[in-house]
Structure 1
Amino acid sequence: MHTRRTHRRTRTAATLLAAALLAAACSSGGASTSARSAVEGGGPTESSPTSLAALPRQTPAALAPYYGQKLSWRDCGVPGFQCATMRAPLDYAKPASGDVRLAVARKKATGPGERLGSLLVNPGGPGGSAIGYLQSFAGVGYPAEVRARYDMVAVDPRGVARSEPVECLDGREMDEYTETDVTPDDERERDGLVDAFKAFAEGCGADAPKLLRHVSTVEAARDMDILREVLGDEKLNYVGASYGTFLGATYAGLFPHRAGRLVLDGAMDPALSARRLNLEQTAGFETAFQSFAKDCVRQSDCPLGGPGTSPDQVGKNLKAFFEKLDARPIPTGDADGRRLTESLATIGVIRAMYDEAGWPQLREALTSAMKENDGAGLLFLSDDYYEREADGDYSNLMFANAAVNCLDLPAAFSSPDDVRAALPDFHKASPVFGEGLAWSSLNCAYWPVQATGEPHRTVAAGAAPIVVVGTTRDPATPYRWAESLAGQLSSGRLLTYDGDGHTAYNRGSSCIDSAINAYLLRGTAPGAGKRCS
């Protein structure tokens, strides 16, 4: 999931575990019982996943040059922060075959108090810039007592932002891609969607044919162990949000003896297939929308209904608006002449589901679009989600998102026929978003590189206590995922936030923040069953 919504932190902190339409959905959603039964009853039965095996404690001799390197720190143009470049093997199976260069940044502990080492942070995505998150939020917005005791550190994973970023389309091409109809009504529109996925994949393959085979989460986790060593830390201390929880859990599974204080906030479930992940995330966005709908009809400016309007009717009203846009996009006043299409409007609404603080902005944007024929507000939200800048350029977020997701798991669907067969399940999971998210899950079918990962349980036997945080109405990483991951980890401790929005740490709950700060500063993990609201 990572944004620029109400404040800068949301663009990167809750950074998408993007189930973005037309992006590689590897996400979540507070999956309801009906959604789970739909997947279990309507799709192929999933075999029990194997457990992620730990790597040997002793570092292989072939990796010694990487573990023994010295970082050359320099000023990186942001007051208080230093930057460096770290080398890692492109292919861990063949360390001598070439390097990948990874951007690293830090802000040294400010004191007072004894230094606790480094605290690595990752905002999620996959594809969110950890360095951008560190410099815009974590390095200045994390609790002062945490920043006083830890060097705050970030590394952009391979293929992301400053670390040899994958690029797939230019700005104009990306505009066309984001406007592609993801609720095809006929064969022509289905062919157009498939062509868009193929062009996106071909662009990524042409840009980075070698790197594209080596941007997996396992490789990124192994890179973090090199960074731990070159920073001089015996164990890795880490806070990961959204997809960052998958990255952190993978690290713990590979290196349980080197896992220090790990916080996994807005957890993913590594044991699920891509199809089930996408279906459950679809249900999660429906859960979040239902919460928004209940709040909306209590407000005087809700364009989707008034007092007494049921959440289901609110959803039908929104769906009817989307269908009107599908037939006739509306003006936005955009300098490049873009109009608000159904796909862009849907992403704008999904964007606002990540943070309940954005609900007033969404009501305003919907009112302008539905009553004044002005799509500027929803286009702004969509652009924010995709990280499109005012000059028409895009960050590499969506490119890296697809590159990592399509490598980590076999594709959710292999053909349009597969999607059509699954549409009833996705529609049941979310009458509002289900169809578009189902078709969007087809993108990895055309990826130029075969997946190297599989669903797996993560046990991390022997690791110190690991705190797993779940929000009950999280749109992108369903609460059930946090329950599952905490149950898989041999030392998992589930911390529950009963509320809305994506992730919980540093989002306003003093109960959550106090529990996590106590763990980071004193090693005191939350007690069993700890809940906050």
Structure 2
Amino acid sequence: MPENPLFPRGLRLAGLAAAAALLLSGCATPGDESDSAASSAVEGTTDEESMTATTVPADALPGDAGDYTDYYEQELEWSSCEDTMMCADVTVPMDYEDPGAGEDLEIRIISSETGGEDEYLLTNPGGPGSSGYNTVADTLTSAFSEELVETYNVVGFDPRGVHRSSPVTCLDDAEMDEYRQQVSDEQLDTDAAYAEARESAAELAAQCEAESGDLLVHVDTLSAARDMDVIRAALGQDELDYLGFSYGTKLGLTYAEHYGQRVGRFVLDGMFDVSIEAHELNTQQALGFEDALENYAQWCTEQENCAAGDTVDEVVQSTQDLFAEVDEEPVQGADGRTINVSTLVSGFITPLYNQLSWPVLSEALNMALSEDDFSAFQYFADLQSGRSPDGNYDWINSFAFTAVMCLDYPMPEDPEQIEAEFEEVSDQAPTFGPYLGHRGVVCQEWPAESVAEPWDPGLTEVEEILFIGTTGDPATPVEWAENMHESVPQSSLIIREGEGHLGYQAGNDCVDDAVDGYLLGGDLAEGRTEC
């Protein structure tokens, strides 16, 4: 079986970075489409005639051919769902460049029905691969303020390729369990190891293509952003109000780049730097988690019981030693499943993500160090992977993550470059770097080539937009928010001082009041605000 691309198992270097996957779920474009529509995603070009605020554009983006009228004029058929909410399916073309020739997709949306008539706020929680439907259905009152929920009908959606919206599918539950338990002693330091990793990646790609077909060529970020504009029209909105988190900020920036005249009040929290390439993204995220570990270690040493050590260096070293020991000799969980180093690392990162979870991380670390009990880390890894105790996977987001990342970013093909980049990440981030993998191997074998590149956002048609960064964010480093703020002069920037991923609804009244004040009343402070 091939290895897990979200949390690399066994041949971990062939997988996608666990840090990236975690960030977008909290870390973010396929095929042979290399014409002007694809190049516009890189260059941020727009067409004034086609990008007006009319409901039905003749051509939604430059280079397109086809009639989008039926998609933009569709009437939603709402039905009750989740007890108190309303759901509908929005029909979009699989291929926006030739909408009449191919298959349509159904994008599932859910509305809280808590706000005023025709007051909609679209949201995306990140990923790529995370479910916006679940965010609204399960965490409405914790993810959004009471005032926001009372004013807006908060709308979540599963982007194309995700969960309820024509999901990318590769493995069944039993295969996924087997996949996550693989063990290998190899790294990409020999020709044989590299060949084995390529073979493993090819097996995964073939099975994903067999299960998902042409969908794999059309789940890039630009296509998802175009779906957002169809959703806007279906909701009857001339402008789109949007609150995006983590990878959802990249999705929001992509929308704003191409549909600037339709941007209403946009808040992007946990800013993604869309100008950096894949290796730099991976390196900075790994360094972010190294910083988070040191901050956790400092906190741990100030508690009554920190089994990992009495100093920051001791806690970090204990963590590194624990990873190395399980890498050398995986352990068996209480249910008989193998807990390899990738399970351990993903289970460690999950509670590391948020300072409120640090006491639970300490308990898990104490159990592992003093009792050789890794069940808590296995539980966290299962939680992140979507596995329930009965062995069923509610939604395997790792495959959508892989599909989008391979399409959004050109990846190196030279084995020497892949090995050099991996070694650089491992040297700079010695705790997590060796276990975060390299996307290049998987993307080499993926059945769709990248169609986009990093770009410098101009957002020339956007009058104002709000960015948020957090100083201790391990997944989307605060520097990314600062970089995007500098790139977009008309943006306002809020910097939250604190730990954890994301700033809104994280216990900081300064951030929450600023976000609500803008979304509800249009009040936006210019420049940079420290919170």
| TM-score between both structures, scaled by the size of structure 2 | 0.87
8 Å CA contact 2:333, 2:374 repeated in 1: yes
1:399 partner letter: F
Aligned to 1:72: 77
- Going from structure 1 to structure 2, the CA distance change for 1:26 and 1:288 (only over 3 Å counts) comes to closer
Seq. identity, %: 34
User: What is the rounded CA distance, in whole Å, between the counterparts of 1:71 and 1:256 in structure 2?
Assistant: 25
* 1:405 lines up with 2:399 in the alignment: no
SS of the aligned residue for 1:240 comes to strand
Runs of 5+ unmatched residues, structure 2: 24-40, 60-66
User: What is the rounded CA distance, in whole Å, between the counterparts of 1:418 and 1:130 in structure 2?
Assistant: 36
- Going from structure 1 to structure 2, the CA distance change for 1:169 and 1:19 (only over 3 Å counts) comes to closer
8 Å CA contact 1:419, 1:438 repeated in 2: no
User: What is the rounded CA distance, in whole Å, between the counterparts of 2:489 and 2:383 in structure 1?
Assistant: 38
8 Å CA contact 2:19, 2:436 repeated in 1: no
* 1:57 lines up with 2:47 in the alignment: no
* 1:234 lines up with 2:238 in the alignment: yes
Structure-to-structure mapping, 1:142-153, within 5 angstroms: 142-153=144-155
* 1:370 lines up with 2:374 in the alignment: no
Q: CA deviation at 1:54?
A: 2.7
Q: CA deviation at 1:162?
A: 0.4
8 Å CA contact 1:122, 1:244 repeated in 2: yes
SS of the aligned residue for 1:96 comes to coil
Structure-to-structure mapping, 1:40-119, within 5 angstroms: 51-55=43-47, 56-58=50-52, 59-60=57-58, 62-76=67-81, 78-97=82-101, 98-110=103-115, 117-119=119-121
- Going from structure 1 to structure 2, the CA distance change for 1:325 and 1:29 (only over 3 Å counts) comes to closer
Question: What is the aligned-residue RMSD (CA, Å)?
Answer: 2.4
Aligned to 2:320: 319
Aligned to 1:122: 124
Aligned to 1:382: 381
Aligned to 1:523: 522
- Going from structure 1 to structure 2, the CA distance change for 1:196 and 1:175 (only over 3 Å counts) comes to farther
- Going from structure 1 to structure 2, the CA distance change for 1:135 and 1:513 (only over 3 Å counts) comes to same
SS of the aligned residue for 2:77 comes to coil
8 Å CA contact 1:24, 1:405 repeated in 2: no
User: What is the rounded CA distance, in whole Å, between the counterparts of 1:484 and 1:386 in structure 2?
Assistant: 31
User: What is the rounded CA distance, in whole Å, between the counterparts of 2:199 and 2:174 in structure 1?
Assistant: 16
1:52 partner letter: G
User: What is the rounded CA distance, in whole Å, between the counterparts of 1:431 and 1:235 in structure 2?
Assistant: 46
* 1:218 lines up with 2:210 in the alignment: no
User: What is the rounded CA distance, in whole Å, between the counterparts of 1:54 and 1:19 in structure 2?
Assistant: 38
8 Å CA contact 2:327, 2:340 repeated in 1: yes
* 1:297 lines up with 2:301 in the alignment: yes
2:240 partner letter: L
Cα offsets for 1:356-408 (capped at 9, x unmatched): 11111111111111211111001011111111222223213111111111111
Runs of 5+ unmatched residues, structure 1: 1-16, 31-48
Q: CA deviation at 1:457?
A: 1.3
User: What is the rounded CA distance, in whole Å, between the counterparts of 1:288 and 1:92 in structure 2?
Assistant: 41
Cα offsets for 1:237-281 (capped at 9, x unmatched): 001111000001111001011001111110111111111111111
SS of the aligned residue for 2:366 comes to helix
Q: CA deviation at 1:110?
A: 3.8
User: What is the rounded CA distance, in whole Å, between the counterparts of 2:506 and 2:204 in structure 1?
Assistant: 35
SS of the aligned residue for 2:332 comes to coil
Q: CA deviation at 1:140?
A: 6.6
Aligned to 2:329: 328
Structure-to-structure mapping, 1:116-195, within 5 angstroms: 117-138=119-140, 141-181=143-183, 184-185=186-187, 187=190, 191-195=195-199
1:23 partner letter: L
Q: CA deviation at 1:180?
A: 3.8
- Going from structure 1 to structure 2, the CA distance change for 1:382 and 1:140 (only over 3 Å counts) comes to closer
8 Å CA contact 1:348, 1:380 repeated in 2: yes
- Going from structure 1 to structure 2, the CA distance change for 1:183 and 1:426 (only over 3 Å counts) comes to farther
8 Å CA contact 1:292, 1:359 repeated in 2: yes
User: What is the rounded CA distance, in whole Å, between the counterparts of 1:302 and 1:140 in structure 2?
Assistant: 30
8 Å CA contact 2:21, 2:398 repeated in 1: no
1:123 partner letter: P
